[in-house]
Structure 1
Amino acid sequence: MRQYGKYFRNLHSIYYSPFYNLMAATTPVLPKFPNTKNSLHSELKSRVQQYFTENNIKQTGNFALWHKAIVLVAGFFALYLHLLIGQPAWYWGLLECALLGCIVASIGFNVMHDGGHGSFSESKLMNRIASYSSSMLGASQFMWNMKHNMIHHTYTNVDGVDDDIEIGVLMRMAPTQKHYKLHRFQHIYFVGLYMMMYIFWVFFSDYNKYFSRKIGAVPLKKMSANDHIRFWIVKIWHAAIFIIIPIIAVGWLQWLIGFLTLSLVGGFILSIVFQLAHTVEDAEFPVANFDTQKLPDEFAAHQIKTTANFATKDKVINWFVGGLNFQIEHHLFPKISHIHYPAISEIVKKVCKEYQLEYIEYPTMRKAVVAHVNFLKDMGRG
């Protein structure tokens, strides 16, 4: 694990902060990236760094991001309080719960995600506060940091390591995964599974990682006393805010309908946005060499080949998903705030063209969804 943490720091050297250093134990042999001089990754970092230097721009979030965060958090509490105190008619209540699910997802995309990557602010304290907005989702920031920041961002689409493509027998999300007959219909029932994602994440996945002490095949870092305390505080907070207080205020049945509405809407949005970035028909699923355990491409090329952008010209989607439609840029530069992705995407496109690498981009959300459905169909055929 120490080698893994060190390697990750080297990959992101100019953007790394100690907030990422979650690894501190032994681990099974993990795939390695080829060692290359004058690499694509070095070229990309150099040109992007030049952009920020020449324009005298900070890599972290700016007023636009902070304003968005205030709007989203204020919207969350306004709807939450109106549902409990105002207790609107059932049809308005359902609509508000659905909207609350959208806001919860957007807070995750914009505030928690940037904070977790250390790009929300120059202040480490502000980044930590932003990252703990995950408590609004009831999700453990400790588990998210290891699963997402460390594992997924390094071993993207590597079957057996990247936990994001490990959904068990219900879905086949990589060519190397075992095929079952039910997968023939996964392009139909995926909607229902994605809707359940939030409930599964908060009420099962976090606890499974906590008690099993591992994420997939990767052992979990030994948690400190503070880590354990934070884990349970978040879970208790979530239970109080989303379960106990609402039941007391509006009753059990109304709470159940409202909570399911919020969770299913938010779960689908969270799932589909992340899946459109990697599980599409044009993305690759690299396999390490059996003898050397080396992946076929260096880090930057690996990220570009396994990642896709979508609807990057759509200002509404870009605002709502926190730049996660610019996933190529995000995977190359996770320590740069999503506010800057539209600008640096032009740099990345130019470098990809020079290196004769395909820059996977779907012009609209609809085309990205079609690419994802086609991928699910392909995986379902065996």
Structure 2
Amino acid sequence: MSSPKFPKIPVSFHGELKKRIAEYFKTKGKAQTGNFRLYLKAGILVTLLLATYVHLVFFTPAAVWAIAESILMGGLIASIGFNVMHDGAHGSFSKYKWVNNMASNIANFLGASQHMWKTKHNVIHHTYTNIHGVDDDIEARPFLRLCAEQEHLKIHKYQHVYFPAAYSLLYIWWIFVTDYKKYFTLRIGDTPLRKMTLKEHLLFWFYKLAHITIFVAIPIYMVGFVPWVIGFFTMALVAGFVLSIVFQLAHTVEHTHFPLPDDATGKMEDEWAIHQLKTTANFATRNKVVSWLVGGLNFQVEHHLFPKISHVHYPAISKIIKKACQEYGVQYIEYRRVRTAVASHVSFLRQMGQTGDHSHPFAH
């Protein structure tokens, strides 16, 4: 399908939001990018990951400690993805492009191609959020049915039960399967990728080789194949689950919408900013521990409206956005706690798994 188009509104809600947010940063005299607190957090997370890796691979702790450290590594990989790579990829980690590139490139060494990610996430997901056939992030077939337009299979009746197992496989599937599928097909779902330059081809293979060397070859050489398999899969399954659940709580819950373009014109009903508010939810925004660990991605509404603003500013700008939504009568979807967001997501999965012709009540 061709890319949907959003209507152009002369006096748009998005324009009003941008004006208010710009005024906030001007009044406070702050840069929209990261600050010392973010850089300190990035340093802590990366140092912990390196220290855990070195201890596991070169000092070989007892089995129980090794498994515990592998679990920790999985959590650290996810947290570095949220806090460092994510802001870097959006250009919001620092005002310096080279620092953003460095922050973003950490993910390459962790196995996730940034070339593919930036197109899949920054361009496709952030523009066409929750639009079936375009947003690849809601494409998890055959294991999961995440919107009413997707084919219903008998297995989906139980997806609200087995979803943790499916989510745990994300990281392994991402680094060993989907990156290569995108590379060789030059497509992300139905969306074609632009032709890669020679430099991009070389970097893709350099980083993939670097990842395999660091996380496969060296550990097998140092500790043996079986300990590596146990440690690597423990780490990868934890990382996969954490990465998956944070995304799902933001977009696939009971109150988020799954709008479709008009069949005749290919146009969406709402302007882009309204579309983002209808398809995105916040969760546990008052929980500072959650906010610290997930890089502010519990403030997904703010992130989707202003992806080039660092997550360290989301608590402040959320008040401005929420007030504007109240004034304009726009729904602002938010779950107060992690558990209520998880419960809503499980309920949504159960709903999507019931029958083939079942429609999500908030889908259109």
Which letter maps to 1:374? S
Per the alignment, residue 338 of structure 2 pairs with 365
Distance 1:343 1:189 in 2: 37
Distance 1:90 1:170 in 2: 33
Which letter maps to 1:130? A
Which letter maps to 2:344? A
Which of 79, 87, 94 is the matching residue for 2:67?
94
Which of 242, 266, 271 is the matching residue for 1:293?
266
Q: What is the CA deviation profile of residues 288-327 of structure 1, one whole-angstrom value per residue up to 9, with x for unaligned ones?
A: 1001111111000000000000000111110000000000
Aligned counterparts, 1:23-62, within 5 A: 29-62=2-35
Per the alignment, residue 192 of structure 1 pairs with 165
* Offset of residue 135 of structure 1: 2.0
Q: What is the CA deviation profile of residues 230-285 of structure 1, one whole-angstrom value per residue up to 9, with x for unaligned ones?
A: 11111101100100000011000000000000000010000000111000010000
SS at match of 2:267: coil
TM-score calculated relative to the size of structure 2:
0.97
Do residues 303 (structure 1) and 276 (structure 2) align?
yes
Per the alignment, residue 72 of structure 1 pairs with 45
SS at match of 1:159: coil
Which letter maps to 1:350? K
Do residues 138 (structure 1) and 111 (structure 2) align?
yes
SS at match of 1:323: coil
Which of 151, 161, 164 is the matching residue for 2:137?
164
TM-score calculated relative to the size of structure 1:
0.92
* Offset of residue 178 of structure 1: 1.3
Per the alignment, residue 22 of structure 1 pairs with none
Q: What is the CA deviation profile of residues 32-83 of structure 1, one whole-angstrom value per residue up to 9, with x for unaligned ones?
A: 0011111000000000000000000000000000000000110010000001
Runs of 4+ in 1 over 4 A off after TM superposition: none
Aligned counterparts, 1:84-233, within 5 A: 84-233=57-206
Per the alignment, residue 247 of structure 2 pairs with 274
- Quick check: 1:117–1:335 contact (8 Å CA) kept in 2? yes
Distance 1:308 1:137 in 2: 28
Distance 1:350 1:370 in 2: 27
Distance 2:38 2:337 in 1: 23
Which letter maps to 2:274? A
* Offset of residue 357 of structure 1: 1.1
* Offset of residue 362 of structure 1: 0.5
Q: What is the CA deviation profile of residues 174-219 of structure 1, one whole-angstrom value per residue up to 9, with x for unaligned ones?
A: 1111111111000011110100000000000000000011001110
Gaps of 5+ in 2: 356-364
- Quick check: 2:4–2:261 contact (8 Å CA) kept in 1? yes
Distance 1:169 1:248 in 2: 36
Q: Over aligned residues, Cα RMSD in angstroms?
A: 0.7
Per the alignment, residue 360 of structure 2 pairs with none
Distance 2:155 2:165 in 1: 14
Which letter maps to 2:262? N
Per the alignment, residue 320 of structure 1 pairs with 293
SS at match of 2:142: helix
Q: What is the CA deviation profile of residues 139-189 of structure 1, one whole-angstrom value per residue up to 9, with x for unaligned ones?
A: 100000000000000000000000000112221101111111111000011
Distance 1:230 1:306 in 2: 34
- Quick check: 2:88–2:103 contact (8 Å CA) kept in 1? yes
Per the alignment, residue 306 of structure 2 pairs with 333
* Offset of residue 29 of structure 1: 1.9
Distance 2:110 2:317 in 1: 30
Per the alignment, residue 346 of structure 1 pairs with 319
- Quick check: 1:104–1:136 contact (8 Å CA) kept in 2? no
- Quick check: 2:109–2:208 contact (8 Å CA) kept in 1? no
SS at match of 1:276: helix
Distance 1:87 1:30 in 2: 51
- Quick check: 1:183–1:380 contact (8 Å CA) kept in 2? yes
- Quick check: 2:87–2:104 contact (8 Å CA) kept in 1? yes
Identical amino acids, percent of aligned pairs = 55
Distance 2:86 2:313 in 1: 15
Distance 1:134 1:239 in 2: 13
* Offset of residue 137 of structure 1: 2.2
SS at match of 1:153: helix
Which of 223, 226, 235 is the matching residue for 1:253?
226
* Offset of residue 87 of structure 1: 0.8
Distance 2:312 2:129 in 1: 23
